[in-house]
Structure formats: C-alpha cells, structure tokens
Amino acid sequence: MFGLLILAFIPCANAEEPLAKAIDAVIDGPDYKQAHWGILIVDAKTGETIYQRNAEKLFTPASTTKLYSCAAAMIAYGADHRFVTPIYSKTKIDPDGMLKGDLILVASGDLAFGGRTGKDGKLEFANQDHTYANSGNTETKLTSANPLAALQDLAKQLKDAGLKEVSAEVLIDDRLFASARSTGSGPDAISPIMVNDNVVDIVITPAAKAGDPAKVELIPATKGVQVDIDVTTTGTSQSPSITLASSGVHAFSIRGRVPVGMAPMIRIYPLSEPALFARTCFIECLRREGIRVMAPILRPASENFPDAGDYDHWNTLAKHTSTPLGEMLKVTLKVSHNLYASTLPCLVAAKKGKRTLGEGLREQGKILKELGVDVETISFAGGAGGASADAITPRATVQLLEALAKRKDWPQFKGWLPEMGVDGTLAGIVKEESGAYGKVFAKTGTLSWHDSINDRFLLKGKALAGTMATKSGRELFFAMFVNDVPLPKDIGPTREGKVLGKLCEIVYEGAK
C-alpha cells in the first residue's frame, strides 16, 4: 500500500510570490487537469504560512497516515518501551528435565520479535522492504538478521533451565487483542505474535544453465509451510515471471521462470494464521536445542488457555525482551511498513485494557486531540492508510508535526522519518547534488488502483509530509497531497514521487 497526494489550488494571500508561482507552475501542469492538490507549508518557529492550497480540505492520505499512528503509539508507550514475551507453565520442570504441563508462549505485541535485530542491537531495514516484494519490485533486499532470533533465544533459555522434554502441548496465547486485517499491501493478518513479519521469504536464484531448475529457498525454512515448486531457468532473452497460488492453510505453489545471470529474486508468502506459524517454528527451535516435544508440529490438539490473570500464579520459564519501541517505529516510518502500522492502534487499545482495532483508534483519537490536532476534521479506519475511510487535511497534518516538535522526543521521531534522497521510501527521489538532499525528513504515501477500462492506474493519492531546512536555514513544516491522477499507461506512481521531490527542491531554494 502506498499513498499518493493531490492538491487543489486556492491562492494564498500571504504566500511568498516567487515561490508561489514556482509551485503553481508544477501543480497546475497538464498532468493534473483532473487531479486535486492540497498543500500547507509553514515556518516551524513562527507558524507563518509560506504557501497553502486547499489546506482545510480532506485528502486521501495513503501512508502519511503512519505519522498519526506512530505518534499515538509513541505517546501511549514511550519510545523506550520494551515488550516482554514470557513462556509460562503451570507445572515445574522436574529433576529429570521433564515438563508434564503445557508450555505456553504469551504474545506481547512485539512487532519485530527479534527478526530484524542487527549485531548493534538496533533493527535493520532495507530501503525496499521485503513485505512489498510481491508488487514486482526487483530491488527488494532481505536484512542480515535472523528471523527466528527470539524463538531461538527462548528455546535456549529453556534448555539452560534444564528442560529436556515437553510431554503436553506447546501453545501460543495470542489473546492480547482481537485479530484484524491490515489496510495496506503485503501481509495483512494483524496478530500480537509476529514472526518474520508474518511471511515466508522466497529467494529464487537462476541456475547456471538455461533449462535447469532454479534454486528456491524458503526463509525461515520450516515444516509449517508446504510448497510445490516448478521454476525453470531460461535464456537471457526472456523476462522473469513468477506466480504464487495458495493451495491451503500455509500451503502454496510457485511457478515460473527466471533468466540466467539474473540476481536472486525475492517474493513472499503471507501467512494467514500467525500463531500457528509461530508455534511450528517454536517447536522446531526447541527440537534443534535437543528438547523433545511430544505435541504434533502442525496444529495443536487443544488450546486450553487459562484466564489471563492466572499466569501470575504460573511458573515463568523464560522470557524475551524486545528492542525499544522506537526502533520499531523507525522501521515503520522508514520503509512504510503496513503491517506494523496497522498493528499500532491495537497495541494502543491493549495499553488501555481494550481489545479491538476500533477501540484502539478511538484511544488514538484522544491522544491526538490532547496533542492539539483537530481530530474532528480527519477520518481513520486503520493505522496504515489504505482504508476507504482514511482522510486527512494538510492543516491537521501540520498541526501534528507542530505538536510533536514541542516534545522532548521530537529529535527521535524526526530521525525515524525517511531522509530525502538518502534512505527509506525517499531513497533516490532526488540526486545527491540536489540542495534538498538530506535536508528533508518526511513520510511518503502512495495509493493507486488499476483502471481496467483504460488499462492504466489511477493514482488515488500521493503524499509527503514532514519537515525541512531550507537553503536560507529556515525550518519548515509541510504537508503535500495530490489525489486522483490518471496515470498514462506504463507510468507508475514514482513519477509523482519525483514531482514531490521537485516541489521540495523549489521550496528549499525559494523559501527565504
């Protein structure tokens, strides 16, 4: 899910005239005859309006929605909050290493769950995140982190505690909040347990000779996923083509071709039952530590969970502590991680002892209102930006940025935003020699739908909102949206991404 912004023109009486003319020349161009623009740019210190057009109108925000959901989660929990995932059992490990009761992992809502943690203890990310791999992006990269790190850590702790055999069940208690669906592309099963972003990565590498089978590797490798593979290596004249088709719960087929000499291709298979996947991976980790598990690996025989309060009287056999929440918010904003962002309102709900996405969004609204955001002027039905009811104004978005800038944690939040030209979803938007390179920290948004009647895409929303330092040293807050752009055939949303980069360059040079 990506968000596109379209802004409609309203003259700004207090705009700096040369700057206004330069902006207008871009957004009133022939590509935007049917589109709508909404822009607000203000001085960060004085609040003076530098430029505005339709600043009070609602626009499809796409992933700029993540500014709101990440801000609310940061305030609800604190950037330094760490999620603790415990392992409980009602019985103790006996002197022979036997556990005769259920072994229960209680999911805490840890978004990364060790799967992105680098050697420095911080979360890793690639500018083209693997959760977007099925959109056809050939630049997708995997991080070097171990996707099963947390489960392996817990299994080792249990081994060190003397556990040799589990005679009863191994279970994942995922009742922290009610299940829901993400409102963006990529994996969409929202759950308090998340292993490898609820996907299996598929790495497809061509053979050295045309006609031979390609190498297909699943990460993490697990018996919890069944796959039927038929991918061939072709000559260099043929383009790659890969098709995934689901054939059951955590079962799929992969068909296609890849040409000789092509770099490994990444695809993903989203998992519909995260707790079931996590359970299988956990049992496999236990067995690799030499712990015998009698329970069937693919599906539990029963799920007899105690009341949540009963765990206080059970034995804590192991626990995994997450990286700080701020690291997760960094990844969410840098790569526009839809599943993480969609989960954040559920975590806000859980913080208040509530369970549903709707309750979490209402709690988020309270947080935003206390910040000074005019919540009545915006609309959200999810945390990522792809819901039909998601709509925000340039004015409310700048209000949010202004409010966050007054907080002690603003430097952290600003640093989590993509840096123009440098990283995340703003990598490569402007050239390194551009004045705006490294001077803009902002959240992107892109949302497009296929226009079948014309066999093209309708850019429903392209957006950019954040802060910048101008050539004259002026600090600005801005929100730019363009909606409803009919794209020419074979033209994608990256065109408008570069237009937004161009607007930032104009503002960088022209805001005196």
**Residue 135: per-residue pLDDT:** 86
Judge if pTM exceeds 0.85.
Answer: yes
Q: How far apart are CA 374 and CA 376, in angstroms?
A: 6
User: Cβ of 463: how many Cβ atoms within 10 Å?
Assistant: 37
**Residue 16: per-residue pLDDT:** 58
Q: How far apart are CA 397 and CA 461, in angstroms?
A: 15
Report residue 270 as tokens.
């989203």
Decide the pairing of beta strands 215-219 and 251-259.
unpaired
Q: Which residues contact 370 (CB under 8 A, 6 or more apart)?
A: none
Q: What is the DSSP letter of 415?
A: H
Q: Per-residue pLDDT for the chain (512 aa), expressed as one digit of tens each?
A: 434 333 333 444 444 589 999 999 999 999 999 999 999 999 999 999 999 999 999 999 999 999 999 999 999 999 999 999 999 999 999 999 999 999 999 999 999 999 999 999 999 999 999 999 998 777 888 999 999 999 999 999 999 999 999 999 999 999 999 999 999 899 999 999 999 999 999 999 999 999 999 999 999 999 999 999 999 999 999 999 999 999 999 999 999 999 999 999 999 999 999 999 999 999 999 999 999 999 999 888 788 899 999 999 999 999 999 999 999 999 999 999 999 999 999 999 999 999 999 999 999 999 999 999 999 999 999 999 999 999 999 999 999 999 999 999 999 999 999 999 999 999 999 999 999 999 999 999 999 999 999 999 999 999 999 999 999 999 999 999 999 999 999 999 999 999 999 999 999 999 98
Using alpha carbons, list the distances in angstroms from residue 466 to 58, 98, 405, 415, 469. 18, 56, 11, 11, 11
User: Cβ of 407: how many Cβ atoms within 10 Å?
Assistant: 14
Q: Which residues contact 478 (CB under 8 A, 6 or more apart)?
A: 39, 40, 41, 42, 398, 442, 464, 465, 466, 467, 468, 507
User: Cβ of 361: how many Cβ atoms within 10 Å?
Assistant: 22
**Residue 8: per-residue pLDDT:** 36
Q: Which residues contact 118 (CB under 8 A, 6 or more apart)?
A: 124, 143, 144, 145
Q: How far apart are CA 175 and CA 17, in angstroms?
A: 57
212: left (phi over 0), alpha (psi -120 to 50) or beta: beta
If you write DSSP's letter for every residue of 425-485 in order, what string do you get?
GGBTSS-TTSTTTTTEEEEEEEEEEEETTTTEEEEEEEEEEEEEE-TTS-EEEEEEEEEEE
Do 202 and 286 form a contact (C-beta atoms < 8 A)?
A: no
| Residue 433 CA, distance from chain mean position | 30
**Torsion sign over Cα 275, 278, 279, 280:** positive
Do 291 and 151 form a contact (C-beta atoms < 8 A)?
A: no
Q: Which amino acid, residue 397?
A: T
**Residue 303: per-residue pLDDT:** 85
Q: Which residues contact 47 (CB under 8 A, 6 or more apart)?
A: 402
User: Cβ of 193: how many Cβ atoms within 10 Å?
Assistant: 24
480: left (phi over 0), alpha (psi -120 to 50) or beta: beta
If you write DSSP's letter for every residue of 284-350 in order, what string do you get?
HHHHHTT-EE-S-SSS-S---PPPGGGGGGSEEEEEEEPPPHHHHHHHHHHHT-HHHHHHHHHHHHH
**Torsion sign over Cα 398, 399, 404, 407:** positive
Do 505 and 434 form a contact (C-beta atoms < 8 A)?
A: yes
User: Cβ of 262: how many Cβ atoms within 10 Å?
Assistant: 17
DSSP-based three-state secondary structure for 412: helix
Domain-wise residue ranges, the chain: 17-77+329-510, 84-320
* Residue whose entry in the numeric block shows the structure tokens 């409102």: 183
Do 262 and 238 form a contact (C-beta atoms < 8 A)?
A: no
Do 149 and 194 form a contact (C-beta atoms < 8 A)?
A: no
**CATH number listed for the domain at residues 17-77+329-510:** 3.40.710.10
248: left (phi over 0), alpha (psi -120 to 50) or beta: left
Nearest 5°: the CA angle 18, 22, 25 is: 135
**Residue 178: per-residue pLDDT:** 97
Q: What is the DSSP letter of 133?
A: G
Q: How far apart are CA 430 and CA 474, in angstroms?
A: 20
